[in-house]
Structure 1
Amino acid sequence: MSRGLWFVAGAGAGVYAMVRGRRAAEALTADGLRDRWNGLTLGARLLRDEVAQGRADAEVDLRARLGLTPAGTPELAAPRTSTRTASNTPDTTDAPHEEGTT
């Protein structure tokens, strides 16, 4: 039993080494290097596209949270009604007005 086990282990190691050696030799040929380079450039393009899509999604989300239009200008709010009765000018500031001071 022990000899059979060592025979199978040695045969497996030989097959493994032969396959790894063949793959390494194929990778170092001109076609193998070209394939690896094309794979690298494709991976870089995919990464660039994913980053750009993520950036665009984040910008849309940020603009939605801040209430900005895609052009980058703030949306106009509905006009506020004036609480001042002394004049006809609309109240355009958020600060409270003191009546009687001019």
Structure 2
Amino acid sequence: MRRGLWFLTGAGAGVYAMVRARRLKEAVTIDGMRDRWEAVTLGARLLREDVAQAQADKETELRERYGLAPHGLPELTAPAEQRELKGTD
């Protein structure tokens, strides 16, 4: 029983090592490196898009909170109620 357990343990470790070696061999080929580079660039593009979307959402939220114009130009004039009180328009 004990020898069988060690035999299975050694066989399992050998199979694991062979699989890892095959994956490493495939990863360092030209195609493997190209696949990894494409994955990195895809991840970077997705991150950039997520950051841009979050930035636009936050900017919209802040513009709504402070009552700024949605077109992106800062409002330098007072709201209409204040202009009417001062008599300017």
| Structure-1-length-normalised TM-score | 0.74
Number of aligned pairs? 85
Aligned to 1:19: 19
Deviation at 1:61, TM superposition (A): 0.5
The structure that is helix-richer by fraction is 2
Deviation at 1:79, TM superposition (A): 3.4
Unpaired segments of 5 or more residues in structure 1?
83-88, 93-102
Q: Which has the larger radius of gyration?
A: 1
Deviation at 1:42, TM superposition (A): 0.3
SS at match of 1:68: coil
SS at match of 2:69: coil
Aligned to 1:77: 79
Amino acid at match of 1:2: R
Question: What is the RMSD of the two structures over their aligned residues, measured on CA atoms?
Answer: 2.0
Deviation at 1:69, TM superposition (A): 1.4
Runs of 4+ in 1 over 4 A off after TM superposition: none
Aligned to 2:29: 29
| Structure-2-length-normalised TM-score | 0.84
Aligned to 1:62: 62
Equivalent-residue separation in structure 1 for 2:7 and 2:66 (angstroms): 71
Deviation at 1:28, TM superposition (A): 0.4
Unpaired segments of 5 or more residues in structure 2?
none
